[in-house]
Amino acid sequence: MKRLLLLSGLCASTSFAQITLNESNFPIANEDFILSTTTDLQIDFATTGANYTWDFSGLVSQGQKTYSTLPLSQAGTLSQLFFGSFAPAPYKADYFASTTDIPLAQITSFLPITIEDMTLFTNNTSAAINSIGYELSINGQGIAIKSDTIETRHALPLTFGDNYESRGYTSLDMNPIYDAKWNQHRHRISQVDGWGSITTPFGTFDALRIHHTIEEMDSLYITAFGISTWIPLSIPEAHEYEWRSTSDKEAILRIKTNVILGNETVTGIEYRDQFLALDENQAIEVTVGPNPSIDVLHVSTKETVKEYLIIDSKGQILVRNTSNSSSFDVNTAAYSAGHYNIVVLTQSGVSSAKFIKQ
C-alpha cells in the first residue's frame, strides 16, 4: 500500500479572497462526483484560521468512490410519497444519496434481520441544506422514514465566523417485518472556523473550513424472552472537518474523526479528485472492443455488472447507467475523439478499462 505523505498547513503569506457559500454551491439531483479516499492518523485536521493556507498537496489516493445525487423518480414508492411533490414543503426532497449516518453495525448486531441500501434525502433552500429522512431495505423490503425533527447540515449563507446548531430526531418502527424500534437523536454544532486557500491533488481553491461536532444518542427497542426493553447504542462523539469552495459543489476535502477515551482519532479522509484508474483496485478483468471505437463499444466481464460509468480524459463523468449483465454495448457515436475510461461495479468491487474513440 502506498504511504500517505502530508504537508501540514502553513500560515499564509499571500492574501486570498473570502468567500460565501449559498444554495448554488451545493449539489442538486443528477450530479456525480469522484472522491479519492485515504488514511493517515497523523493528518493535521486541527490547524485553521483567517487568511490561511492549507497545503494537502501530498495526499496520495489509496482508493476511489463515486458519490451520486439521485432524483426522486429513482426512489421507492413510499419515499416518493413521503418526499415527493405532494409532501409538505420542508419534506420535499431535491435528491437522495447513499449515507453512513445510521449505526447499522450496532443495530444489526442485536437483530436477526438484514438492513442495507441506506440513503439520505436532502431538501435544499436558500436558508439551509437539510436532512429530512431515510430510505433503507429491511430483509429486502424498502422502508421510508421521515425525520420528525429536521437536521440542518449547512445553514445558509455561510461565511467565516458563522456558528449554528441543529437537532435531528428520527424514529423507525420495524413492524410488521420485525418487532423492534430504532430512535436516532442527533445534535450538530457547526462553526466556520477558517478561510483561505486549500491545495490538494485536485487543485488549489479559495475555501471555507467548517467544523461539525455531532453528538448522537440512539436506542433500540426489542422484545426478547418475553421482556421488552430499550437498549442504548454506544455511539462516540464524531467530528467532521470540511473545506468547501464556490468552484465545486462537493467538499474539496473532508476529514472525519471519532472521540474515543478522550482522544480524537481519524476515521476517514476523502477529497475531490479526477478518476485515477488505480491498478490495485482492479477486481476483475474488463474487456472492451473494438478499441479504438467508432460507434459502439462492446464490454464484457466474468461477473454481472451492476453499474458502469464513462469518464473522459479530464475526469468528468459523462455517463452513469445500470447494466445487470456481464456483456453489453455502449453507444460511443456522439463522443468526441479522445481517450476515455469505462468503470464497472460488480459484486467483487470496482474495475476499469481504457478505450479510444476515433
137-193 pLDDT per residue, tens: 999 888 999 999 999 999 999 999 999 999 999 999 998 888 899 999 999 999 999
Q: Residue 102: which pLDDT band, with cuts at 50, 70 and 90? A: confident
Radius of gyration of the chain (CA): 22
What cell was used for 171? 424514529
Q: Label residue 345 by pLDDT band (50, 70, 90).
A: confident
CA atoms within 13 A on the CB side of 10: 8
Mean of the per-residue pLDDT values of the chain = 90
**pLDDT tens string 210-242:** 999 999 999 999 987 778 899 999 999 999 999
101 pLDDT exceeds 60?
A: yes
Distance set, CA 186 to CA 148, 205, 219, 234 (Å): 12, 31, 12, 13
Residue-by-residue DSSP string for 179-238? SEEEEEEEEEEEEEEEEEEEEETTEEEEEEEEEEEEEEEEEEEEEETTEEEEEEE----E
- The DSSP code sequence of 304-340 is EEEEEEEEETTS-EEEEEEEEEEEEEEE-TTSPSEEE
**Residue for grid cell 436558508:** 127
Domain with CATH 2.60.40.3080 in the chain: 279-357
Q: What is the CATH code for 279-357? A: 2.60.40.3080
Task: Give pLDDT, residue 1.
Answer: 29
**Residue 6 clears pLDDT 50, i.e. is over it:** no
Q: Grid coordinates representing 190?
A: 457547526
First-residue to last-residue Cα distance in the chain = 36
Q: Which amino acid is at 181?
A: K
* pLDDT greater than 80 at residue 7: no
How many angstroms separate the Cα of 37 from the Cα of each of 253, 340, 349?
Answer: 10, 22, 15
Torsion of CA 352, 354, 357, 358, to 10 degrees: -160
Record the cell numbers describing residue 261, joined without a space.
Answer: 477515551
pTM summary value: 0.83
pLDDT of residue 283: 63
Nearest to 328 by CA among 345, 311, 308: 308
- pLDDT in the model for residue 12: 38
pLDDT in tens, 247-257: 999 999 999 99
What is the structure's pLDDT at 282?
Answer: 57
Question: What is the model's pLDDT at position 5?
Answer: 32
Residue 15 has pLDDT above 70, yes or no: no
